[in-house]
Amino acid sequence: MGMSERQYLIDAISVNESWRLFKILAELVDGFESLSDIYPCVSIFGSARVKPSEEIYEKTVAIAKKLAENGYHIITGGGPGIMEAGNRGAREGGGRSIGLNISLPLEQNSNSYADIQLDFKYFFVRKVIFVKYAQAYVGMPGGIGTLDEIFEAITLIQTKRIKPFPVILVGSDYWGTLWEWVKGTLLKRKYISSEDVDLVTILDDPDEVVNTIKRTVIL
């Protein structure tokens, strides 16, 4: 390959990277413009693989509905499973139902309950929108993506990059063992402080979830 060919490839890569920046900015602007007037919001996370027949699906609907009835709007990932349940509960409770959909080869088809549906290509942009417009996080049982979202919020609160807000994990039978490991391993080895452990609240009852958020997030 001659010098001119190499330079052509370098220039082509540079142009592609520049266009990628514009696409990232476009996703951010779209999110900011669509949600700037919607307050207060609760972001709900959980597995896309949960079926409507499962108990945790119905519990998610109940939590989202109760939050909506109390004046809170609901943000989810916009897909099936727990996300669908959150959007459904928001609509049934009379709140704004927001879905932040991500383009994935598997599992992520948008649900029909989101009144505001935004599409993202970049995970990190989507996570910015989740955090920026949430006054609380509710983590239902989920997989790696759910863990990623929850620990992202905890990290940002711990490092004081964002103002503290409630991070509630629903399901002591699901989250309890993980948090015992956090306390028994991370805290014991002094990789975190006792204050970090208290950044998360584990609850089971939908009313307790709503009341915890109401005590912290003023309408």
pLDDT tens-digit readout, 136-187: 999 999 999 999 999 999 999 999 999 999 999 999 999 999 999 999 999 9
pLDDT at 11: 47
Q: 134-151: string of b/e by CB count within 10 Å (b at 16+)?
A: bbbbbbbbbeebbeebbe
97-120 per-position pLDDT tens digit: 999 998 776 656 789 999 999 999
Of 110, 121, 96, 109, the C-alpha closest to 34 is 96
| Polymer length of the chain | 219
Question: Quick one: tokens of 2?
Answer: 């001659």
pLDDT over threshold 70, residue 88: yes
pLDDT value, residue 10: 44
The model's pTM is: 0.89
- 77, 100 in Cβ contact below 8 A? yes
Q: 44 φ, ψ to 5°?
A: -115, 130
Q: Span 39-216: which CATH code?
A: 3.40.50.450
pLDDT of 217 over the 80 cut: no
The whole-angstrom separation of Cα 17 and Cα 180 is 44
* pLDDT at residue 49, rounded to an integer: 94
pLDDT digits (tens, 9 = 90+) for 11-68: 444 557 777 888 899 999 999 999 999 999 999 999 999 999 999 999 999 999 999 9
pLDDT at 5 exceeding the cut of 60: no
Amino acid identity of residue 163, one-letter, is K
Domain boundaries of the chain, sorted by first residue: 39-216
Predicted local confidence at residue 107, as pLDDT: 54
Per-residue pLDDT, averaged over 118-129, amounts to: 93
